[in-house]
Amino acid sequence: MTKNMNNFFQGKQVLITGGLGFIGSNLARRLGDLGARVLLVDSLIPEYGGNLTNVSGLEHQVRINISDVRDEYSMRYLVQGQDYLFNLAGQTSHMDSMHDPYTDLEINARAQLSILEACRKNNPSIKIVFASTRQIYGKPDYLPVDEQHLLRPVDVNGINKMAGEWYHILYNNVYDIHTCALRLTNTYGPRMRIKDARQTFLGIWIRLVVEGKPFEVWGGEQLRDFTYVDDAVEAMLLAATSDHANGQVFNLGGEAIVSLQELADLLVEVNGGGTYEVRSFPPDRKRIDIGDYYSDYHHIQDLLGWQPQVPLREGLAHTLAFYREHLANYL
């Protein structure tokens, strides 16, 4: 796969929005190894996960532009001359979207439309991969959830991400701007946000375990699957380099389905110690909890040949090792 990817990305101009964040920075490292010329755009707004430490050691492989995707004038300039756009910028916190729905709307919906308009007017030949989310499904009617499942978000974030995703598909279908969307599910790994739960609850668990402090498991019986970040990055590269992906939406997922309490036990085991307490959901969280969720990723497996490669135990081990070494840079 690496040789095949080299043929696509060697010398190519690649723009990553949200490029200083968790997934964007891991993607940038992979693209740098593949010989791409990478431009990272990030607002570095403290609440949204961008961290210059994430690209430590890449100073000579990437360029960085500190800009907000809501600035349509900047985006109009930045998309020009780019071969690929990995559109990862977004507001990810479900609770923040409920407390401040207008900001979530601006980032996850209106800004996405502005980016697409900038591409339509200034670079219609660009290929775009959009980072969507399993949150747009809401509470599943059946498991595993495939792409034909009804979209029924339970929070403002899900509604706005759904709009952002479908703007991308619309521009593919109407304007022939090649786009696709990956519905990510519980992505984890090195460089994830761990100082709060704005990206994922697992970040807080990992931080507290590494610090030797107890963590809380809400509910505990809910079933989930998890995607290691390297697997998510490979899915994005495959989607970018395949014409079969154009106009498609794809679920990602993980190889293991576990309850949250089983995940907590595994995390403590892999860490070699740790404690947790099972608690009831706080009322504000319970209102937007989706219950059990795990995905059917056969569509991307059948069409692009992707499937998760990193087992959950191995991914947790890599993640814990990373934060034992770099914890201070993520607090």
Q: pLDDT tens digit string along 143-159?
A: 999 999 999 999 999 99
In a domain, 326, yes or no: no
C-beta separation of 245 from 306 below 8 A: no
The 10 Å Cβ neighbour count of residue 13 is: 17
* The token pair that represents 47 in the structure block: 């609440």
Residues 6+ apart with CB under 8 A from 62: 19, 28, 32, 38, 39, 40, 55
Chain segment 2-31, per-residue pLDDT in tens: 446 778 999 999 999 999 999 999 999 999
Q: Does residue 118 fall inside a structural domain?
A: yes
Residue 314 placed within a domain:
no
Q: Reduced to 3 states, what is the DSSP secondary structure of residue 57?
A: coil
Residue 245 lies in a domain: yes
pLDDT at residue 281, as a whole number = 80
Q: Give the residue ranges of the chain where pLDDT is below 70.
A: 1-4, 48, 94, 197-199
Residue with tokens 């219609």: 124
| Structure tokens given for 110 | 């209106």
Which residue range is the domain that position 182 belongs to?
2-189+227-253+295-309
Query: Counting Cβ atoms within 10 Å, is residue 117 exposed (0-12), middle (13-18) or buried (19+)?
Result: middle
Question: Is residue 315 in a domain?
Answer: no
Per-residue pLDDT, 283: 78
Domain membership of residue 198 (yes or no) is no
Q: 258 lies in a domain?
A: no
> CA 85: distance to chain centroid?
14
Whether residue 208 is contained in a domain is answered as no
Note the pLDDT of residue 304.
97
Terminal-residue alpha carbon distance, the chain: 36
> Which pTM value belongs to this model?
0.94
Domain of residue 232, CATH code: 3.40.50.720
Domain count for the chain: 1
